[in-house]
């Protein structure tokens, strides 16, 4: 039982200060999802970078022909058979090859650039999401603080009204107060009670929203923090240079440019260097078939141009 209580304790957060709530924003589920998305974009970027490196492929092919390959003679010499075998029915080929994309018409560089920009855009979106979470927490914290003191003020007003109502009831019974005046005090009491109930409901919603944003149970807040406010001009300039949502737009424009570059790459020829160790035979030993040489290794180049 003691262990269970210790496990539950960290999730029960009571009165919290503003800075602590901002730190708890890292537990937000939306932020965690964006973090996983960033990890995926990082993996895609690394995969795109691998296009710059040679590719290594291994292949084993086994073919069994319906008929044995033969060569026919229309006018054979005397004693010569009309046809002879030129191959075996079974053919096995093993190949380990390497291919290096020497020039791809800037397609590879375009793919890498686009993947990099996409990763950077997601990183900025993550920071922008955190900024928005901070703004929401700040708004809810300030609202909760205002509601807290509004509730205290209305409670004091309610106690004062109850005291006034008690005195007014005594005056009314003594015939010193008109019924309308007593009714006004009662109406004021009910109005304050209704306002108090509304404020409590608003405070509960604000704290529930704080709990949702931070991933912890928040039941109250501490004092309102004091910050020195910079000049408006300085803040505006900083926002234009550093705000993540504006930087995201810049990344999107650059991604469009990379997409155009990628499309233009189709107008260029591609050049690849290739080579392979290739062996052939009539069984898995790949030591030849008695007709052709078993070693068919090669080096070369391939040029392709889509006209």
The residue-averaged pLDDT of 215-241 equals 81
Confidence of residue 296 (pLDDT cuts 50, 70, 90): very high
Averaged pLDDT, 82-95? 88
Residue partners of 66: CB distance under 8 A and separation at least 6 = 89
The sign of the dihedral angle between the CA atoms of 9, 14, 18, 24 is positive
The answer to whether 281 touches 94, Cβ cutoff 8 Å, is no
CA-to-CA separations, 55 to 35, 50, 97, 98, in angstroms, rounded: 31, 9, 8, 6
* SS3 (DSSP) at 227: coil
pLDDT at 49 over 90: yes
pLDDT of 42 above 50: yes
Q: Which CATH architecture has domain 18-84+93-304?
A: Up-down Bundle (1.20)
**Mean residue pLDDT across the chain:** 88
Q: How far apart are CA 20 and CA 214, in angstroms?
A: 10
For residue 63, the SS3 value is strand
Orientation angle between helical segments 107-173 and 29-49, nearest 10 degrees: 180
pTM above 0.85, yes or no: no
Domain ranges of the chain: 18-84+93-304
For the cut 50, the answer to whether the pLDDT of residue 154 exceeds it is yes
Query: Rounded mean pLDDT of 288-298?
Result: 90
Per-residue pLDDT at 9 exceeds 70? no
User: From CA 304, how far away is CA 141, in angstroms rounded?
Assistant: 63
Per-residue DSSP letters for 183-213?
HHHHHHHHHHHHHHHHHHHHHHHHHHHHHHH
Q: pLDDT at residue 10 above 50?
A: no
Q: Residue 6 in 3-state DSSP?
A: helix
How far apart (Å, rounded) are the C-alpha atoms in residues 140 and 278?
Answer: 70
Instruction: Report the pLDDT averaged over residues 98-112.
Output: 90
N-to-C CA span, the chain: 76
Are the C-beta atoms of 297 and 278 separated by less than 8 Å? yes
pLDDT of residue 5: 34
Please spell the DSSP secondary structure of 92-149, one letter per residue.
EEEEEEEEEEEE-TTHHHHHHHHHHHHHHHHHHHHHHHHHHHHHHHHHHHHHHHHHHH
Mean pLDDT across 92-105: 93
Q: What is the mean pLDDT of residues 71-88?
A: 77
- What average pLDDT does range 84-100 have in this prediction? 91
Percent of the chain with pLDDT over 90: 58
Residue 40 to residue 122: CA distance in whole angstroms: 10
What is the average pLDDT across 283-294? Answer: 89
Report the range of poorest mean pLDDT among 68-77, 84-93, 111-120: 68-77
Predicted confidence band of residue 2 (pLDDT cuts 50, 70, 90):
very low
pLDDT higher than 70, residue 194: yes
Distances (CA, A) of 56 to 18, 49, 61, 230, 246: 56, 16, 17, 58, 42
**CA triplet 237, 254, 242: central angle to 5 degrees?**
20
DSSP summary character for residue 61: E
Gap between the Cα atoms of 216 and 208, Å rounded: 10
**Span 244-252, mean pLDDT?**
91
Mean pLDDT of 173-190: 91
């Amino acid at each position: 039982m003691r262990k269970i209580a210790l496990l539950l304790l960290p999730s029960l957060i009571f009165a919290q200060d503003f800075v602590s709530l901002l730190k708890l924003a890292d537990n937000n589920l939306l932020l965690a999802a964006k973090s996983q998305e960033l990890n995926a974009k990082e993996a895609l970027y690394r995969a795109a970078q691998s296009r710059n490196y040679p590719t290594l492929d291994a292949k084993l092919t086994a073919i069994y022909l319906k008929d044995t390959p033969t060569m026919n003679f229309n006018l054979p010499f005397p004693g010569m058979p009309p046809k002879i075998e030129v191959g075996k029915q079974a053919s096995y080929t093993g190949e380990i090859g390497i291919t290096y994309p020497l020039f791809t018409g800037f397609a590879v560089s375009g793919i890498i650039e686009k993947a990099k920009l996409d990763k950077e855009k997601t990183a900025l979106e993550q920071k922008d999401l955190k900024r928005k979470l901070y703004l929401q927490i700040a708004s809810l914290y300030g609202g909760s603080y205002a509601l807290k003191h509004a509730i205290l003020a209305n409670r004091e007003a309610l106690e004062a009204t109850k005291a006034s109502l008690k005195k007014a009831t005594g005056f009314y019974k003594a015939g010193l107060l008109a019924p309308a005046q007593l009714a006004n005090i009662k109406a004021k009491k009910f109005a304050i009670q209704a306002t108090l109930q509304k404020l409590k409901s608003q405070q509960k919603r604000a704290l529930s929203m704080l709990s949702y944003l931070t991933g912890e149970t928040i039941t109250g807040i501490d004092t309102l923090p004091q910050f020195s406010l910079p000049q408006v001009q300085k803040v505006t300039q900083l926002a234009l240079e550093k705000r993540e949502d504006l930087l995201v737009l810049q990344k999107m424009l650059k991604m469009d440019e990379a997409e155009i570059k990628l499309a233009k790459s189709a107008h260029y020829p591609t050049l690849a260097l290739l080579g392979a160790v290739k062996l052939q035979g009539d069984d898995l030993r790949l030591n030849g078939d008695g007709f052709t040489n078993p070693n068919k290794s090669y080096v070369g180049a391939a040029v392709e141009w889509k006209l």
